Amino acid sequence: MARTDEALIVIDVQNDFCPGGALAVAEGDEIISRINGLMSDFATVVLTQDWHPADHASFAANHPGVAPFSVIDMPYGPQVLWPTHCVQGTSGAEFHRDLHTDPAHLIVRKGFRPWIDSYSAFFENDRTTPTGLEGYLRNRGVTAVTFVGLATDYCVAYSALDAARLGFGATVLDGACRAIDLNGSLAVARDQMRAAGVVLEA
């Protein structure tokens, strides 16, 4: 029987992050079957969904002459400029068709403010503007969270680091995630998570 104090957080399993998408993560669709199988093991299941306006400041297309994957300084710190992805209302922003969405108790949409990106399920990238997920979990009596999804080194890692910072027990199932690994970002993210007390499991 699922423990009532544990939640599964499924990060951004959307078409644009899967093969064929605008910001595809290699083998991103291969984790879906395992994620679906995990849902019945948790009393609380949350899905996150990137949900950007077309004029989002993190899109390279909105910075003329700047190439995708360049890094610029924003008021909240360094920002990777991404290919346009997960635009509100487009097929790319939809959950992958194979992902079971019916078991989800909550869907958290993030990145909808045009002037700030949002990797974490808990906070915008300024690390202070909340999504509301923390309060939802605490109201449900959740003390431990397990993360799966896309991508390990960005949205999963940011979410896990914030969960640990907020006092939740945090676990990342590495085998149920896939990474972008931009300029060594995966190794950096894993080191940061371990240092913060996040448990990395296969």
- Among candidate residues 201, 148, 154, 149, the one with its CA nearest the CA of residue 180: 154
Residues 6+ apart with CB under 8 A from 118: 50, 110, 111, 112, 124, 125, 131
Rounded to a whole number, what is the largest CA-CA distance in the chain?
Answer: 55
Alpha helices in the chain (DSSP H): 32-38, 133-139, 157-165, 185-195
Mean pLDDT of the chain: 97
Length of the chain, please? 202
* Residues contacting 182, CB < 8 A, separation 6+: 69, 80, 153
- Catalytic residue list: 12, 110, 155
Taking residues 8-21, report their average pLDDT: 98
Residue 160 pLDDT: 98
pLDDT tens digits for range 16-65: 999 999 999 999 999 999 999 999 999 999 999 999 999 999 999 999 99
Distance set, CA 112 to CA 33, 57, 74, 85, 141 (Å): 28, 11, 16, 12, 28
Strands (E) across 75-161 are located at: 77-80, 106-110, 144-150
Q: Does residue 3 carry a pLDDT above 80?
A: no
Global pTM?
Answer: 0.97
**With 90 as the cut, is the pLDDT of residue 12 above it?**
yes
pLDDT digits (tens, 9 = 90+) for 81-106: 999 999 999 999 999 999 999 999 99
Average pLDDT over residues 168-182: 97
